[in-house]
Structure 1
């Protein structure tokens, strides 16, 4: 109830200018006004908490909480706190002038940098004015914490002036009553406000009651000590934050003071839903500043390959624009992302070393993301390569090894890390490409994922050792004692020349192999710039160049009974020998994954069967 005659004031020119900017161009979403008013209420309660530690006479004994009330019939929204409150002079100073609201600095920034500075300014504490985006009028009832001060009501329709008068029966703190515009009635409904508060203000330190029922029941765990938090609390938080039903597979909870003040709590889900054919993960690590949501899904915070992470990052060092919706400094956001990424990679390294069984489970589900990062993220490539795992010719089936362990087993003469791409272990071990390496006790990594070849080609080396495909034409293996019974060098040259002529354009070159032990022959892609696997991928995507004729280099084994028999008949039965030669080539192409059309091979096999 009013106890004095209202006194009318004109807004200062700068405030009029500010109101125009806030109402018409600053915020992209009108709902932000709720977050701003709740955030201001939380700040007022925090100030009272600190003040009450030293002040003797604090007016009122209300609980430190925020009460939000909706009235869809009257089309009003009320937000009340029992915080520090304001005197008459403070109402004028904070809401009607530029003295303390931060408006002057904001407007100066706009004047100095032009319109672009709406995205390049700091947080100036004028979020209160956002209410006028949706309000016909705003009334602010406030009573200072000081017992000797009377209560007041400040009111305005935002058009250019405001009124202040004394009011009786005003509780300590501030109550803001927003009378909504006709087209903004949704903000007077319980469900709409509940959704906004849960989205933006779920972790405010003080209780938020909506129409008498508490809304924010989940604590801001990232600000608490890890030693105080139970596993069940972490799981509850994860499910709330990620809108998930599963339990998290891994979690990382850490804080840092330098180079930025950071409190982070991130989770790895239990399943990689992308692998089931579901939609691509959207960014799931929300960005907060002092427990107030800034961006629920910031696209530029973490690298793309970490899109599977869920959780929260909170930093007090973030300079935000006036609406808290856009980061002021992209470079600072990048720095924040690098700190989190580096810390998560360190965490994975610790998991791999200290809890290898757990890391194996993680890698089975999310290893593809690490491979994606290794191929594309040059900043973190070295750390990511250390985390990759592969089966190899020296590991048992299903057991994996790291690149670092591979290097530790290398002999002094070995300069390269060898790998083979194949459908599975059986396909690789039954092919001809492994023979020469096994004979020399050289370890070969087995790569089963379609992305592996792309990763190896992009990374190119690890720990100073080149990564090279074991079936690459440039592979040079050391000499080893050769069993007796091989074709002579002269006979081998004769046969390779005949094969080159007989096979014609189907082969680029034919030579004796130094890597075959048992198999008669192997085919190697003659295109140094496009592997057979890459060609198949490009063909599936109808990429240009994938339909060009494919040529192979054919390597033969002079010790093979098949090759020796071919030498015997290439002059005695040239027609039959030509069929055998073409079949040897097709068999080698099948092993290499390079045979694109098997129809001619089937017809040839029938011809060969006729000669049996």
Structure 2
């Protein structure tokens, strides 16, 4: 096979352009990334060798080697891990095969500071080499194969792949350094970088000097060391290694469990929200080890899906080393580890919520929408998650807990009221909130799609039912008005019953019913779901995802105290105005639809009616 020329994936080319222009303030992170990748390659081969010992028979001792050549101005990072063949090189070094890539690239702005933050969330791995190198050469031979391969690129849109003579398995990355990057040819600087970033790597990192090899890291798994001997900086670098991220952990959880089952967990909550958190192809990012041997980097059985924001490792003393994917799915030991770790994580989050509510807000804004998935997925942990949950509400700008809400409930109030929608700003303007605001009744503003599903699954909190303000009767008459105010009990305007009858006759099948409203104080009309029908926002979500074709008809509620409604009620008794009132019924229905964010079924008819009303008002 001759040399092949390939173009980089579009996302890679854009990323390389930013990386190559030295976006990072500390370029030394490239070495951390390449050593981390080399360590991962060794971990993967160690696991394969459990069932295929022939793969490592000739060279069983895993290691990463650094060597600098001042004359050639090259730095080489080599490993004796699993290696890559032709297809691996093209796939792994030509694309970013990671969920969230499109979202990542779509958010890049060209502003260095903003894009740095994004890349910090996404990670760049191998491509960080181009921060310091004008050309990168990779030679590799996959374990169990005889043919080696060479990959070369200058990071400018294309790369070449060709066969090569490679003596042994593993990967060798040679960086041809740019002018001005001589610090990475200095042995002392390489030692400092490894000590800072990669001391925790659980295999030897060797530096070749004058033909001799020197181990320059501790070469022991960080999670096996006593907590008292681990610094915050070491924890942070281990987090970046496992998460392939550039931020610092918001919370570090390091625990060893002994008893019937033994395991160690070293888990981190990121301080920034990963871009692929809600991607359909998202994977867990907690690595599973068995007695310090890497098993898998994405074990869905080790943690529930609603904790997928966690990064780090779990190391079991009891699982068999040769455990398969099928065995993981039904293993009782792993089920117990999962239950224990989940409980510990939720307990630690509660401690954080209690001790530092302001900092906890940062966590909730990043991961609250994910954690709430546990409210309908995990009934065993529902109560702890409910206590951790925080919400926006009509009470103010900050977040509130359900305990806060219940403690502020008004005399006569027996439900936790909420409204769902696409954004806090949109739902806060909803006319359905008017009556609640007039009585000082707090309403939770729920804007995550998951809210539509956990609320009916939970049903109650401390004996109080959750009730949507957009469904059924509002029951506001039973709630006491604020001190100094009395609830109005003025009789409806004359003719209001006739107006409702005409609206019902006019709108016919367009609505389920037309009723007087308790919840409106300023707006003339609003749409609500009848008691027992699907919530309006949930129905809209399901329609968008084509889960349902048609929704239930809505109830049009009329505010009898609104001047427009009173005027229409008066006019209905005047000869010659019946048609105008009927036209107003359709206009008001369309107005209610617009406020709800719905698409008008007949925009042309709405436009015509509105033009007629404006024409008549101008002629009056």
Shorter-chain TM-score range: 0.5 to 0.7
Aligned to 2:458: 459
- Are the aligned partners of 2:261 and 2:333 in contact in 1 as well (CA < 8 Å)? no
What do the CA deviations read for 1:366-406 (whole angstroms, capped 9, x no partner)? 11211222232223222222222111111x22x11011211
Distance in 2 (alpha carbons) for counterparts of 1:328 and 1:569 = 70
Distance in 1 (alpha carbons) for counterparts of 2:204 and 2:326 = 24
Aligned to 1:286: 287
Aligned to 1:191: 171
3-state SS in 2 of match to 1:282: coil
- Determine if the alignment matches structure 1 residue 604 to structure 2 residue 609: yes
- Are the aligned partners of 1:274 and 1:281 in contact in 2 as well (CA < 8 Å)? no
- Determine if the alignment matches structure 1 residue 418 to structure 2 residue 398: no
Report how far residue 459 of structure 1 moved: 2.6
Distance in 2 (alpha carbons) for counterparts of 1:554 and 1:191 = 69
- After TM superposition, list the pairs within 5 Å mapping 1:145-164 onto structure 2: none
Distance in 2 (alpha carbons) for counterparts of 1:35 and 1:246 = 39
Distance in 1 (alpha carbons) for counterparts of 2:589 and 2:393 = 28
- Seen in structure 2, the aligned counterparts of structure 1 residues 246 and 350 have a Cα distance that, compared at 3 Å, is same
Aligned to 1:554: 556
Aligned to 1:264: 265
- After TM superposition, list the pairs within 5 Å mapping 1:131-142 onto structure 2: none
3-state SS in 1 of match to 2:477: coil
What is the aligned-residue RMSD (CA, Å)?
Answer: 4.0
Report how far residue 409 of structure 1 moved: 1.8
What do the CA deviations read for 1:486-544 (whole angstroms, capped 9, x no partner)? 425x843332222211221112111212222232222113484433322322332233x
- Are the aligned partners of 1:524 and 1:592 in contact in 2 as well (CA < 8 Å)? no
3-state SS in 2 of match to 1:571: coil
- Are the aligned partners of 2:392 and 2:399 in contact in 1 as well (CA < 8 Å)? yes
3-state SS in 2 of match to 1:191: strand
- Determine if the alignment matches structure 1 residue 372 to structure 2 residue 352: no
- Determine if the alignment matches structure 1 residue 238 to structure 2 residue 243: no
- Are the aligned partners of 2:470 and 2:536 in contact in 1 as well (CA < 8 Å)? no
Distance in 1 (alpha carbons) for counterparts of 2:464 and 2:335 = 31
Distance in 2 (alpha carbons) for counterparts of 1:69 and 1:431 = 62
Distance in 2 (alpha carbons) for counterparts of 1:35 and 1:561 = 90
- Seen in structure 2, the aligned counterparts of structure 1 residues 240 and 455 have a Cα distance that, compared at 3 Å, is same
Report how far residue 311 of structure 1 moved: 0.7
Distance in 2 (alpha carbons) for counterparts of 1:323 and 1:532 = 46
3-state SS in 2 of match to 1:522: strand
Aligned to 2:361: 360
Distance in 1 (alpha carbons) for counterparts of 2:439 and 2:536 = 26
Distance in 1 (alpha carbons) for counterparts of 2:145 and 2:600 = 70
Distance in 1 (alpha carbons) for counterparts of 2:399 and 2:203 = 50
Aligned length: 444
Structure 2, unmatched stretches of 5+, are: 1-47, 64-78, 84-142, 147-164, 174-198
What do the CA deviations read for 1:438-459 (whole angstroms, capped 9, x no partner)? 2332211111223322332333
Structure 1, unmatched stretches of 5+, are: 1-24, 42-67, 73-132, 137-184, 194-201
Aligned to 2:404: 405
- Determine if the alignment matches structure 1 residue 508 to structure 2 residue 512: yes
- Are the aligned partners of 2:239 and 2:312 in contact in 1 as well (CA < 8 Å)? yes
- Are the aligned partners of 2:306 and 2:374 in contact in 1 as well (CA < 8 Å)? yes
- Seen in structure 2, the aligned counterparts of structure 1 residues 225 and 507 have a Cα distance that, compared at 3 Å, is same
What do the CA deviations read for 1:243-282 (whole angstroms, capped 9, x no partner)? 3233222221122224532221111223223369877542
- Seen in structure 2, the aligned counterparts of structure 1 residues 256 and 311 have a Cα distance that, compared at 3 Å, is same
- Are the aligned partners of 1:566 and 1:581 in contact in 2 as well (CA < 8 Å)? no
- Are the aligned partners of 1:473 and 1:526 in contact in 2 as well (CA < 8 Å)? yes
Task: Give the structure with higher Rg (CA).
Answer: 1
Aligned to 2:498: 494
- After TM superposition, list the pairs within 5 Å mapping 1:406-485 onto structure 2: 406-411=405-410, 413-479=412-478, 481-483=486-488
What do the CA deviations read for 1:572-607 (whole angstroms, capped 9, x no partner)? 210111111221222222223345333322221011
Report how far residue 365 of structure 1 moved: 1.4
- Seen in structure 2, the aligned counterparts of structure 1 residues 355 and 218 have a Cα distance that, compared at 3 Å, is farther
What do the CA deviations read for 1:293-340 (whole angstroms, capped 9, x no partner)? 222322211111222211111221324447899559611111101111
Distance in 1 (alpha carbons) for counterparts of 2:474 and 2:169 = 72
Aligned to 2:522: 518
3-state SS in 1 of match to 2:288: strand
Distance in 2 (alpha carbons) for counterparts of 1:236 and 1:322 = 29
- Are the aligned partners of 1:374 and 1:455 in contact in 2 as well (CA < 8 Å)? yes
- Seen in structure 2, the aligned counterparts of structure 1 residues 516 and 230 have a Cα distance that, compared at 3 Å, is same
Q: State the TM-score, normalized to the length of structure 2.
A: 0.63
What do the CA deviations read for 1:45-68 (whole angstroms, capped 9, x no partner)? xxxxxxxxxxxxxxxxxxxxxxx9
Distance in 2 (alpha carbons) for counterparts of 1:307 and 1:368 = 12
Distance in 2 (alpha carbons) for counterparts of 1:518 and 1:135 = 76
- Are the aligned partners of 1:422 and 1:448 in contact in 2 as well (CA < 8 Å)? yes
What do the CA deviations read for 1:449-470 (whole angstroms, capped 9, x no partner)? 2332233233322222211111
